[in-house]
Structures are given as C-alpha cells and as structure tokens.
Amino acid sequence: MTRELPVSGEEQAAPCAGLRIGDVAPDFSARSTAGQVRLSDYRGRWLILFSHPADFTPVCTSEFVALAGLATEFEKRDCALMALSVDSLFSHFAWLRLIRDRFDVEVRFPIIEDPTMVICQAYGMVAPDDRDSATVRTTFFIDPLGVIRAMTCYPPNVGRSTAEMLRTLDALQAVDTAGALAPANWRPGEPLLEQPDVTLDALFSAGGQADWFMKQADEAAGR
C-alpha cells in the first residue's frame, strides 16, 4: 500500500524505515528545483530516486555533473531521475548555477528539498532519530508500478558509478522483458540466463551436470 508522507507543516512521525526490494515506494509530495513533484506522478515509467549528503560538496558535485551528462541515456530508457537532500531549495538553485557556470552542464532533473528529513527517514536514508544527513548516499530503482526493484548505498566519501546505475537499469528492464535472469557483469546485447526448470525430468535429461539450472536464454537482450 502506498504511504502518504507529510513533507512540511505537519507534526507527524515518519513511517518506520527499513524498505526492502519488492516494497511499494512511499508516496510523497515536495518542493523541488522543477516545481512541486509527487512520486506517484511518475507511475508508468522507471524512476531513479537518489539522495546526496549535501550541496556544494566535491563528491556530490562530481555525481551531478556525471548524471546530467547522461540524462539523455536515462531518457532513452524511459527513466526519470530525481535527487534529494536536506538542503533548502535556494541552496539547490545556487549549487546548480555554480555547476552550470563551472562545468557547462545544466542539471534539469528535479532536486527535492527535505529540510525536516521526513522523506529521508521514511526511505531509511537516515536513522529515524538522526539529526545529521552526512551519511546519506542512497539510490532506489523504482519500476513503472511504483515498486522498489533495486537499492544501493554508498558512504559519503565514495561516489556512485553512473555506468553501474545504467547497467542496473538495463538489466532490470531486460529481465522484465525476457522473463530471464541477468548474470554477473551482464551488459546489453549479451545473453541472459533461463529460469531454472526445477523438475526431475529436466534434471535427469540435461546434457551436462549444470545444464538443468544454468543455461543461456535463446536470445540476447539489449539495446
């Protein structure tokens, strides 16, 4: 069930943190650099929701420059980007202007302000009793039905791999389309793996010892 989160002006505790893969992402409405946004408005397409510790910090700046440079790649995959931090909207604006002037990159995807940490706490990005967001660098891959399909969490001193974010998105979309499995280090165009046939007939008729549970799908999936 979708949970509606208070964002401002309401004295209410955040829902219990501890979201897991397969949970419906809690809904919220908040101010952002692209205007008022509501998470549920993104239903029908993929969404990557990610948090960063603070504006005007070196690692976060490098991430935003990299992600803005790949914005068209995410768009090709019908995937929106949405960022979040506890900084104010005006801090976000000032930071984005600096990024544009310094790196000649315009960050157009929305960056949410979460000064009360209600959204951060609801998503488990910070502990419910935490007063500092310095440890926040979390990513949620949310599918068109609003379900959390993958999550990553990095420490504040290590930036995310944008290439791995794209690869994860590609893999999730490929396995949904093919009903198959993505092996380690899979990339678009490479073979997927078939779902194991867990029957005795498949076990005893397999040509090799591992063929009944580890077999390439007939067709490669990718862009």
112 in the same domain as 35: yes
Q: What span, in angstroms and rounded, lies between the C-alpha atoms of 140 and 42?
A: 14
72 inside domain: yes
| Residues 106 and 183 placed together within one structural domain of the fold | no
Residue 69 lies in a domain: yes
203 shares a domain with 143: no
Residues 31 and 94 occupy one common structural domain? yes
Residue 33 sits in the same domain as residue 133: yes
Domain that holds residue 205: 179-220
Shared-domain flag, residues 156 and 210? no
Residue closest to 41 by CA, chosen among 95, 112, 99:
112
Q: What is the total count of domains within the chain?
A: 2
Which residues face 24 on adjacent strands?
147
Q: Which of 75, 81, 69 is nearest to 33 (CA)?
A: 81
For residues 123-132, average pLDDT: 70
**Of these residues, 60, 79, 120, 153, which one is catalytic?**
60
The confidence score (pLDDT) of residue 204 equals 83
pTM of the model: 0.85
Among residues 160, 195, 211, the one where a domain terminates is: 160
Any domain includes 173: no
What are the pLDDT digits (tens) for 13-52? 333 347 999 999 999 999 999 999 999 999 999 999 999 9
User: In terms of domains, do 33 and 102 share one?
Assistant: yes
pLDDT at 50: 95
The residue out of 160, 191, 212 marking a domain boundary is: 160
Report if residue 169 sits inside a domain. no
- At 41-78, the pLDDT tens digits run 999 999 999 999 899 999 999 999 999 999 999 999 99
174 is a domain residue: no
Give the Å distances, CA to CA, from 60 to 77, 148, 154, 174, 204. 24, 23, 12, 29, 53
Sort strands 148-153 and 191-193 into parallel, antiparallel or unpaired.
Answer: unpaired
Is-contact 46 141, C-beta < 8 A?
Answer: yes
- CATH number of the domain to which 78 belongs: 3.40.30.10
Inter-residue contact 77 to 47 (CB < 8 Å): no
Tell whether 134 is covered by a domain: yes
105 and 198 share a domain?
no
User: Dihedral sign, CA of 76, 79, 80, 86?
Assistant: negative
Is 183 within 8 Å of 54 (Cβ atoms)?
no
Verify that 87 and 194 share a domain, yes or no: no
State residue 7's pLDDT score: 46
**Per the domain annotation, does 167 fall within a domain?**
no
Same domain assignment for residues 184 and 101: no
Q: Mean pLDDT lowest for which of 93-97, 133-137, 199-203?
A: 133-137
| Contact between 193 and 215 (Cβ < 8 Å) | yes
Helix (H), strand (E), coil (C) string for 58-86: HHHHHHHHHHHHCHHHHHHCCEEEEEEEC
Q: Are 39 and 3 in contact (CB under 8 A)?
A: no
- Known catalytic residue at 60: yes
Q: Do 142 and 59 have their domain in common?
A: yes
8 part of a folded domain: yes
**Tokens found for residue 105:** 């990159």
Instruction: Please give the pLDDT value at position 114.
Output: 92
pLDDT tens, residue by residue, 156-215: 899 999 999 999 999 999 999 999 999 999 999 999 998 888 888 887 888 888 787 888
Q: Are residues 198 and 92 in the same domain?
A: no
